[in-house]
Amino acid sequence: MRESISAIITAAGASGRMGSAKALLRHAGGVSFARYLLNCFGLYGCNPVILVVSEELDIPELRSGSHQLVVNHHTELGRSHSIHLGLQYVPEGSACFIHNVDNPFLSPELLDELIRKSHPDCYAVPVYHKHGGHPILPGSHVMDFMRNLDQITDFRELLNGFTRIEAPWHNEQILWNVNTPEDYESYLQYPKSKVEDDAQR
């Protein structure tokens, strides 16, 4: 029996460079980025799946479904605060995928590989050509430690205190990061036949 797995999707950023909410951008299959990622993690069996949004994104479209929606009322504290809010809903003893809403790629095979590489005391990262991508998977002991902190001010720095396990991956999609209209246009022009689109059901 595999370790319990949860998922946190952070979607509370200001989207200043994009000019519109990245969570509501449309995936290649037509659904929003947020819904695509919720579908991916939900179909994979993650429980709970937690979506952290700003007050502006506390809307019916993102509230519907079986996931847990958490509102970050202090977005000025950044992504680390969103992660801190989300992990309060992660059960004790659960590893947890952590993914940004502007990284519009997931596949069951990728999640399988991260779980295969994972360890309760470490965090796993997919790597393409020596570059770390998304999502990351902190093990259950790492998550339990972070949950008991009063606050997380720098998530990356906090992870540096744990062992990183790299999971080599075979394509660049794990590195995608849609921050600007130009990034989004490049994403839309990427050949659909090459997009691993397992969560569009």
Would you say residue 201 has pLDDT above 50? no
Q: Name the percent of the chain lying above pLDDT 90.
A: 67
Determine the Cα–Cα distance for residues 64 and 67; give it in Å rounded to an integer. 8
In a domain, 148, yes or no: yes
3 state DSSP class of 41: helix
In a domain, 111, yes or no: yes
3 state DSSP class of 47: coil
Peptide bond into 168 cis (omega under 30): no
**Residue 63 has which token pair?**
């509230």
Q: Which of 106, 134, 109, 104 is nearest to 28 (CA)?
A: 104
Averaged over 94-113, what is the pLDDT?
A: 95
Q: Give the CA distances from residue 79 to residues 53, 152, 157, in Å, rounded to whole numbers and listed in that order.
A: 10, 10, 13
Structurally, how many domains does the chain consist of?
1
In a domain, 198, yes or no: no
Query: Residues 42-84: pLDDT tens digits?
Result: 999 999 999 999 999 999 988 888 999 999 999 989 899 999 9
**Residue 137 has which token pair?**
């998977």
Tell me, what's the pLDDT at 2?
A: 52
Query: Residues 114-166: pLDDT tens digits?
Result: 999 999 999 999 999 999 999 999 999 999 999 999 999 899 999 999 999 99
In a domain, 195, yes or no: no
Question: pLDDT category, 198, cuts 50, 70, 90?
Answer: very low
Q: Give the distance, in angstroms, between the CA of residue 136 and the centroid of all CA atoms in the same chain.
A: 8
Domain that holds residue 18: 5-190
Q: Which of 168, 8, 193 is nearest to 83 (CA)?
A: 8
In a domain, 196, yes or no: no
Determine the Cα–Cα distance for residues 48 and 67; give it in Å rounded to an integer. 6
Q: How do strand 131-132 and strand 122-128 relate by DSSP bridges?
A: antiparallel
In a domain, 68, yes or no: yes
In a domain, 199, yes or no: no
**Residue 179, exposed/middle/buried by CB under 10 A (0-12, 13-18, 19+)?**
middle
In a domain, 201, yes or no: no
What CATH number is associated with residue 186? Answer: 3.90.550.10
Determine the Cα–Cα distance for residues 92 and 140; give it in Å rounded to an integer. 8
Dihedrals phi, psi of 30, to nearest 5 degrees: 105, -25
Give, as one character, the DSSP assignment of residue 32: B
Q: Give the distance, in angstroms, between the CA of residue 82 and the centroid of all CA atoms in the same chain.
A: 11
Q: Do the beta carbons of residue 104 and residue 33 sit within 8 Å?
A: yes
Q: In the predicted model, what is the mean pLDDT of the chain?
A: 89
